[in-house]
Chain A
Amino acid sequence: MATDFWTSTHYKQLLDQEEVDVVHQLDKDRGITLEDFKLIKLHMTNYIARLAQNVKVRQRVVATAVTYMRRAYTRRSMTEYDPRLVAPTCLYLASKAEESTVQARLLVFYIKKLHSDDKYRYEIKDILEMEMKILEALNYYLVVFHPYRALSQLLQDAGMSDATQMTWGLINDSYKMDLILIYPPHSIALACIYVASMLKDKDNTAWFEQLRVDMNMVEKVATEILDFYDNHKTITDEKVNAAMQKLSTRT
């Protein structure tokens, strides 16, 4: 939904890192640490992406769904809102909001296909019920702006059209963090271009300078992305499983 980001609710709802990195008391009680919290959100981002591949929706729907999920957990606990239900529900809701509706039935079919684990088993009525709760958690703000939008123009302008694929991938990965809740989407797009330039050994300093944007912010986001990749290597299945284990079994 294209309109002016600066007048949007998305912009008004941008948060500080400190606000995003709050583990809900109920979750703390279960021993979930900030690291676990981030791991679970990462894990669920991947889950959403895999489901999306199966039900065949655009990347934009995935991005919106992940944003909903991350936004919801700035306000709700994982204890009360089981991520294994929240993730597919966010995809379901995002598919409607992005005009690529996926039937709940289809989603449930692929949930079962992807996970034999009982903890992931949810039925249509669970998704529909959670949908209402997510809508409420989001306060019905459903419009999300994404960094993809200006990407091809920016790349072309920077003379980096050959790096489209790489930058697109970097943006996809940016949703494994909470960046979309914290920074305006164009800063994330520019940060990804910045990282792509580094990886491609292309000096774009002059180009960035003439943009007249807040380069501090761009560099900060770029650093976070690079840190994430460094850190990502240390993430193992065991760690993820341990974090997931702390979530209660279904009530």
Chain B
Amino acid sequence: MAGAAYGQLNLEESPSWGSRSVDCFEKLEQIGEGTYGQVYMAREIKTGEIVALKKIRMDNEKEGFPITAIREIKILKKLQHENVIKLKEIVTSPGPEVDEHGKSGGHKYKGSIYMVFEYMDHDLTGLADRPGLRFTIPQIKCYMKQLLTGLHYCHVNQVLHRDIKGSNLLIDNEGNLKLADFGLARSYSSDHKGNLTNRVITLWYRPPELLLGATKYGPSVDMWSVGCIFAELLHGKPILTGKNEPEQLNKIFELCGSPDEVNWPGVSRTPWYNKFKPSRQMKRRVREVFRHFDRNALELLEKMLTLDPSQRISAKDALDAEYFWTDPLPCDPKSLPKYESSHEFQTKKKRQQQRQNEEQAKRQKLQHPQQHARLPPVQQPGQAQAHSQVWAGGHNHPMGNSGQAPLAAGGPTHHQFGKPRGPPGGPNRYPPGGNPNPGVGGYYPDRSTGQGGVGFSGGQYPPQARAPSASGPRGSSAGYGVGPPNYSQNVPYGGSGAGGRGPNVAGNRNPPYNWQQQ
């Protein structure tokens, strides 16, 4: 292959004499888009191994190799852990510019450096967004445990991730979860005197201290994000979805109470406290809002979503929490079901497709049966089967099969390797379903009708299994206005057709959610 000139080296541990060429890989499809470049799924030609290639954009060459890439490389070369994504090597693209003009010529490496990562089949958001998929409690515990283990390792090695969110947590078909995208990560030391930027972490997962302008902070920032993800997994959708920073802070205060010198000593000295302090006293409502979580989960969540960073639980202590040591125990990653590849951008793409189909269907005024026959995407049978496998700790089952196919084409993505983007696709990602049938839970809402899953009860999955736990009775009717988190999304034709947060076990107990819509 063209890589011959470059290709002989950089294979193993041994110090190399040059990077291999990207020509050693065959790009298969784009699977992500980040601030510093695209991410591709690729196959190593020699070995056939599937990898992910993350391109480092060099267009802004005013200061050469981007310091963010330097940080990421430095950190990834240092971190070797089963729950941290492995940087296999760095390859360059010879490009047409090579040595063309000698010294005076163009930049040899313009736009052509790639980080080679092990390929992971899913990211957590993509997986959770799969129509019809819901995680089991042992599965959630298993992912959370791995997330905390990986993060603890980072923190012990004095690395702050600073962008923990679902799309940066990659999952393979062995059930392994790995932290990825260290593009915002930094090493720190507790004696570090310098200031750190507070413009990190995707808005929905950003802790209050950063929103209040803190520039000295530590591992606790990541733990807030973990808390958000934890609640999201149990709840079925993101819990703090501000559109901008003031709103984000406000949502945090509405859930966690307003900060004061009692619950957070020193908060009044944070840079923007006076600017953002809530006008009225708010009480902490975590236990109320998430009362449908089990006791141990709630206890752990409370400790993660602690306003005062110094009192927030550490990754290490979180791993010791009762939650992980009481029944049902975290399952073995290997026992988890295998799914067809899904990344956040793909599920998004799929939803787009569904919306299109939906419109088409409307236009043609098709009847349900026909629709079913024609619209494979997220159809019940496949899902039902997948479901039972999830529950049974089943095995390989490609989900949403037909719906998946068109995605393979790639296209603009929103993928784990990507950079954070504010509240990504914020509002439309998890649109309020407006579905008035909370109790039905999100199993197989009859998507063809799009009018509340009444019709689905005939699905393979016994809806009663959930029904009892569904906290319908508990939620105020007002609360349901937002719709059960789990299910509006699964409607390829009907309803909004957007959204797509797969329901999960706990999510079936539909919480009153009015606190969030204010």
Contacts and interface: CB of A to CB of B under 8 A. Distances in A.
A125 interface: yes
Contacts of A125: 107
A220 B79 CA distance: 32
B211 to A, nearest CB: 24
Interface stretch (A26-34, A109-117, A134-142): A134-142
B18 interface: yes
A96 B109 contact: no
Interface stretch (A1-9, A47-55, A200-208, A231-239): A1-9
A128 B64 contact: yes
A126 B103 contact: yes
B63 interface: yes
Interface stretch (A97-105, A164-172, A241-249): A97-105
Nearest to A1: B187
Interface string B5-21: 00000100101111100
Interface in A129-185: 129, 131-132, 135-137, 139-143
Contact of A1 (B62, B74, B80, B90): B74
A136 B109 CA distance: 11
Contacts, number: 79
B189 A127 contact: no
Given A3-B157, A97-B74, A136-B19, A12 B13 contact: yes
A13 interface: yes
Contacts of B103: 126, 129, 251
Contact of A143 (B10, B17, B77, B186): B77
A97 B72 CA distance: 10
A104 B63 contact: yes
A119 interface: no
B158 interface: yes
Q: Which of A7, A131, A135 has the most CB of B within 10 A?
A: A135
Interface string B241-272: 00000000000000000000000000000000
Interface residues of A, number: 34
A51 B453 CA distance: 71
A37 interface: no
Given A1-B74, A143-B78, A101 B107 contact: no
B107 A128 contact: yes
A127 B64 contact: yes
B372 interface: no
B63 A139 contact: no
Contacts of A7: 80
Contacts of A56: none
B17 A75 contact: yes
A92 B61 CA distance: 14
Contacts of B286: none
Nearest to A4: B157
Contact of A8 (B13, B78, B186, B194): B78
A22 to B, nearest CB: 13
Contact of B77 (A2, A75, A140): A140
By Cβ-Cβ distance, the 8 closest A-B pairs, closest first, are A128-B64, A132-B109, A3-B157, A1-B187, A131-B64, A139-B16, A96-B67, A142-B74
Interface of A: 1-4, 7-9, 12-13, 75, 92-93, 96-97, 99, 101, 103-104, 125-129, 131-132, 135-137, 139-143, 251
13 contacts: A1-B78, A4-B157, A13-B15, A93-B70, A96-B67, A97-B70, A101-B67, A104-B63, A128-B107, A132-B108, A136-B18, A142-B77, A143-B78
